[in-house]
Structure 1
Amino acid sequence: MRDEAARRFVEARGHRTARDTGRRRSVDVSPEEALRLLGSVPVGRIIFTRHALPTARPVNHVLDNDDIIIRTHERAALVSHARQNGGHGVVVAYEADDIDPVSRTGWSVVATGYCRLVTDPEQVARYQEMLHPWSDQHMDHVVRIRPDLITGVRLIAVAGDGGES
């Protein structure tokens, strides 16, 4: 079933449909390398709790001194959670990846830490200049995620017999 879904995904994007059946291995990367990888892509997913359940939202981001910066809007659940907690922040995870569906190689990074509203008007203005939301929704709030735990893995091809892994 998963192979059929992968085949349809690859075909829909005009990639070659021959399935690469070589072996793959997952390799941990250092927190520094994970942050570098995270900074190399413009989009990730913020994961937080809403109604006691995990919720994920795709967002664009920038890195600033190892902090992950995103913009959001007034009605966002994340904004209300951060305010209810007295400004101390709310624990979130931020995930980004770059996986090639044809070669089945790439990487994935997860940064976990406290998310806080940026309230200093100069910092807000600076981040609004640096980061432009992809949607046409008015994103008037800036959120900073200061990672406490950063993990990352690379999925790499393994030289060998070319058999199924």
Structure 2
Amino acid sequence: MDANDGFRELHRQECLRLLATVPVGRIVYTRQALPAVLPVNFSLDGDGAVLVRTSASSELVGAILGALVAFEADEVDAATHSGWSVVVMGTATVVTDPAEHTRLLRTGPRSWAPAPREVFVRIDPELVTGRELVGGRSLYGVHFPT
């Protein structure tokens, strides 16, 4: 991107580092042939996969199994007009390996709305992109006082 447009592209490792600093993101998927967006709490696994813990009978699980989905998280400071946004695109799968499930019970995300039977959804990071908004910049690179 142009150096004066107010945005800076983020490298994959920067994106993953920033994702690890926020507790909530949004899953973007297809629902009845239309785009759907659902806010969820999440965590990252060691390989950068996005992990979501949800009810095994949730509509989300049925809609995203094996599907290509997007996951977005961001942080914005309205006072300084700065922030960042990261998008992870990849295939969503339910963790079925018992040992992996047991590990995630200890290390994975905690559900904010616990259900009797929960599963872990993993989004493998096939494409990770992000950008940072540099505060106070106009289209001409002029800084405005805050």
Q: Which runs of 5+ in 1 are unaligned?
A: 1-22, 84-88
Paired AA for residue 54 in structure 2: T
Which consecutive residues of structure 2, in runs of 5 or more, have no partner in the other structure?
none
Shift of residue 39 of structure 1? Answer: 1.2
Cα contact 1:105–1:156 (8 A) shared by 2? yes
The two structures have a TM-score, normalised by structure 1, of 0.74
Q: Aligned pair 1:113/2:113, yes or no?
A: no
Q: What's 1:39 paired with?
A: 20
Match of 1:103 among 77, 80, 98: 80
Over alpha carbons, which structure has the higher Rg? 1
For the residue of structure 1 that corresponds to 2:13, the secondary structure is helix
Matches within 5 A, 1:2-151: 25-64=6-45, 65-82=47-64, 89-130=66-107, 131-138=109-116, 140-151=118-129
SS in 2 for 1:147: coil
User: Does the 8 A contact of 2:29 with 2:64 survive in 1?
Assistant: no
Contact 2:29–2:63, Cα closer than 8 Å, also in 1? no
- Identical positions, percent: 38
Query: How many pairs are equivalent?
Result: 136
Query: Are the aligned partners of 1:50 and 1:77 in contact in 2 as well (CA < 8 Å)?
Result: no
User: How many Å apart are 1:81 and its aligned residue?
Assistant: 3.3
Q: Is the 8 A contact 1:24 1:155 kept in 2?
A: no
Please give the secondary structure, in 2, of the residue aligned with 1:40.
coil
TM-score by length of 2: 0.83
Q: Which residue of 2 aligns with 1:16?
A: none
Does the C-alpha gap of structure 1 residues 139 and 39 become closer, same or farther in structure 2, counting only changes over 3 Å? farther
- The Cα offsets for residues 4-58 of structure 1, whole Å up to 9 and x where unpaired, read as xxxxxxxxxxxxxxxxxxx971111111211111111111111111111111111
Most deviating of 92-101 and 54-63: 54-63
Are the aligned partners of 1:71 and 1:139 in contact in 2 as well (CA < 8 Å)?
A: no
Which runs of at least 4 in structure 1 moved beyond 3 Å after TM superposition? Answer: 136-139, 158-161
Q: CA deviation at 1:154?
A: 0.3
Relative to its length, the structure with more helix (as a share) is 1
